[in-house]
């Protein structure tokens, strides 16, 4: 039977990553810093006066809730919003206005969120959260108001809170206000000279102002120390390209494909992210359990999700993935059949069906499903790779080589595709081709220990 590591690799790289990519890019911050309130999340320079807390609202709860298209919202989100709105009607406190605003912001309902957060800010001028969250909400609605609120929030939080200042800087750069952005960044850099996010933003401004060597000096320590994110590596690639070092630029661009697409940590905004609820949030929780090898717990959660959201194609696909992992293949097929009934054009469901037959060594059926998968997405390197492995298992050497080559031709940065091709050439004792493929793989991820193992197998043939 195919090795578990191969199956796991083949089932971890499909479109599920695209579904949760945006969530990972934001919820990673919550994982890093926790969901509680930061020590710097609010100003303590004063207290809320009774008059401010009880004065008539500029906007009513009913007006806010009337802006929502409830039919387009997840049921769990509607329940949470109704509960917060009910509490606001009963209390009318700044905290209740802020709570409803944060819930709305957590689910990308920006305009009603800004209304609530501005109301909270007007009733409690001491809490830095309200102008900060309002500025984030208004970013795509009213840039001038967003800038005013972010500037106020940065001042209230103080220099110790980096993230609010970086949000302000990002907006200033977008508005081509480079002098003020540089001033803010230099003040942050004086306090935290090794802060990667500050260095990256200063490098962005240096590129815009065509100070390429300055930009390189700023970005170089970011990408060579620690674990840079994707945007940092892409910025480094552009700087190197403009400096004329195309080889190093290509290397950074290749590395960016393997780098995490995460934002910089924002302890203050984590309080908003913690309020996310609904289907996508639950799917992400199930995926995190799976990736931590808590497969049974992931399956249990997904079974509950399928009961609550029976028409969720992705819940079915993820549940099938778990069943495949623990070799409950009949249960996996049942879930995939349902997913394909919900969406007959689902690339992911076709791919998983191929994997299900692959691990059960029913290679003819697996080959058929992988070929169908490729028709839906001809650029899928992982589908070509698995197709090639199935063809190799049937001793169809010519077809296997063609498929494995297609995997790295359609996705040149697909590292596991290169590994499979090296393994193929080693098995065929075609050492020259194996050596060439190994060199290409090293350009993508030279530190991967599997390359050293393959290199040892090549030995003097290299």
pLDDT of residue 38: 38
Q: Say if domain 1-30+277-361 classifies as CATH 1.25.40.10.
A: yes
Of 44-58, 115-129, 140-154, 215-229, the poorest mean pLDDT is in 44-58
Cut 0.85: pTM above it: no
Of 52-61, 122-131, 210-219, 238-247, the poorest mean pLDDT is in 52-61
Of 10-14, 136-140, 241-245, 270-274, the poorest mean pLDDT is in 10-14
The token duo for 250 is 């290509």
Cα 457 to Cα 455: distance, rounded to the nearest angstrom: 5
Cα 249 to Cα 401: distance, rounded to the nearest angstrom: 31
Residue 49 vs residue 29, higher pLDDT: 49
Percent of the chain at pLDDT > 90 equals 71
Please state the rounded mean pLDDT for residues 108-121.
96
Closest CA to 85 of 54, 57, 117, 60: 60
32-54: b or e for each residue (b if 16 or more CB lie within 10 Å)?
A: ebeeeebebbbbeeeebeeeeee
Band (pLDDT 50/70/90 cuts) for residue 52 is low
pLDDT at 19 over 80: no
Band (pLDDT 50/70/90 cuts) for residue 165 is very high
pLDDT of residue 461: 67
Closest CA to 332 of 341, 347, 319: 319
pLDDT at 50 over 70: no
Percent of the chain at pLDDT > 70 equals 87
- The dihedral through the CA atoms of 368, 370, 374, 377 has a sign that is positive
Please state the rounded mean pLDDT for residues 342-358.
96
Q: Are 138 and 167 in contact (CB under 8 A)?
A: no
pLDDT of residue 48: 53
How many CA atoms within 13 Å lie on the side-chain side of 102? 23
pLDDT of residue 212: 96
For residue range 364-392, what is the model confidence (pLDDT) as tens digits?
999 999 999 999 999 999 999 999 999 99
pLDDT at 75 over 60: yes
Q: Are 434 and 426 in contact (CB under 8 A)?
A: yes
pLDDT of residue 296: 93
Please state the rounded mean pLDDT for residues 172-181.
95
What angle, 0 to 180 degrees and rounded to 10, lies between the N-to-C axes of helices 329-342 and 347-359? 160
Q: Are 106 and 18 in contact (CB under 8 A)?
A: no
pLDDT of residue 449: 84
Which residues lie below 8 Å from residue 126, measured CB to CB, with a gap of 6+? 42, 43, 44, 45, 46, 47, 48, 156
Fold for domain 377-462? 1.25.40
Which residues lie below 8 Å from residue 208, measured CB to CB, with a gap of 6+? 173, 178
pLDDT at 235 over 90: yes
Band (pLDDT 50/70/90 cuts) for residue 47 is low
pLDDT of residue 8: 39
Please state the rounded mean pLDDT for residues 404-409.
96
Compute the 3-state secondary structure of the chain and give helix, strand, coil in percent, each to the nearest 5: 75, 0, 25
Of 212-216, 262-266, 325-329, the poorest mean pLDDT is in 262-266
**Please, what is the average pLDDT of the chain?**
87
Residue 141 vs residue 461, higher pLDDT: 141
pLDDT at 42 over 50: no
Where along the chain do its domains lie? Answer: 1-30+277-361, 377-462
Which residues lie below 8 Å from residue 75, measured CB to CB, with a gap of 6+? 278, 308
What angle, 0 to 180 degrees and rounded to 10, lies between the N-to-C axes of helices 347-359 and 313-325? 10
Please indicate whether the domains covering 1-30+277-361 and 377-462 agree at the CATH topology level.
yes
pLDDT at 78 over 90: yes
Band (pLDDT 50/70/90 cuts) for residue 170 is very high
């Amino acid at each position: 039977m195919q090795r578990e590591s191969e199956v796991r690799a083949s089932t971890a790289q499909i479109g599920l990553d695209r579904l949760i990519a945006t969530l990972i890019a934001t919820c990673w911050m919550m994982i890093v810093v926790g969901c509680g309130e930061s020590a710097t999340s609010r100003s303590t320079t004063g207290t809320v006066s009774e008059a401010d807390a009880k004065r008539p609202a500029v906007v009513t709860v009913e007006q806010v809730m009337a802006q929502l298209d409830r039919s387009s919202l997840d049921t769990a989100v509607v329940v949470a919003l109704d509960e917060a709105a009910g509490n606001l009607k009963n209390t009318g406190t700044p905290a209740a206005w802020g709570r409803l605003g944060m819930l709305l912001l957590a689910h990308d309902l920006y305009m009603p969120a800004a209304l609530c957060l501005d109301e909270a800010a007007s009733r409690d001028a001491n809490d830095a959260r309200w102008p900060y969250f309002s500025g984030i909400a208004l970013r795509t609605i009213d840039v001038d108001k967003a800038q005013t609120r972010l500037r106020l929030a940065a001042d209230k939080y103080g220099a110790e809170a980096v993230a609010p200042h970086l949000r302000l800087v990002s907006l200033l750069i977008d508005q081509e206000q480079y002098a003020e952005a540089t001033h803010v960044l230099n003040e942050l850099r004086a306090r935290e000279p090794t802060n990667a996010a500050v260095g990256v933003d200063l490098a962005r401004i240096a590129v815009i102002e065509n100070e390429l060597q300055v930009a390189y000096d700023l970005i170089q320590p970011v990408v060579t120390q620690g674990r840079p994110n994707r945007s940092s590596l892409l910025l480094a690639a552009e700087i190197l390209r403009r400096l004329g070092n195309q080889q190093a630029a290509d290397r950074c661009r290749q590395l960016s494909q393997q780098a995490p697409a995460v934002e910089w940590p924002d302890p203050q905004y984590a309080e908003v992210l913690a309020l996310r609820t609904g289907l996508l949030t639950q799917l992400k929780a199930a995926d995190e359990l799976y990736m931590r090898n808590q497969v049974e717990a992931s399956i249990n959660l997904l079974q509950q999700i399928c009961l609550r959201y029976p028409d969720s194609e992705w819940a079915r696909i993820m549940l099938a993935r778990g069943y495949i992992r623990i070799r409950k293949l009949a249960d996996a097929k049942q879930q995939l059949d349902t997913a394909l009934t919900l969406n007959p054009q689902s690339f992911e469901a076709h791919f998983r069906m191929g994997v299900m037959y692959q691990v059960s060594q029913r290679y003819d059926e697996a080959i058929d499903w992988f070929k169908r998968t490729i028709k839906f997405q001809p650029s899928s390197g992982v589908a070509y790779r698995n197709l090639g492995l199935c063809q190799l298992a049937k001793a169809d050497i010519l077809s296997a080589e063609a498929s494995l080559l297609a995997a790295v031709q359609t996705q040149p940065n697909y590292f596991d595709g290169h590994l499979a091709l090296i393994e193929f050439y080693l098995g065929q004792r075609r050492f020259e081709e194996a050596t060439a493929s190994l060199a290409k793989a090293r350009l993508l991820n030279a530190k991967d220990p599997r390359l050293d193992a393959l290199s040892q197998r090549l030995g003097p043939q290299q």
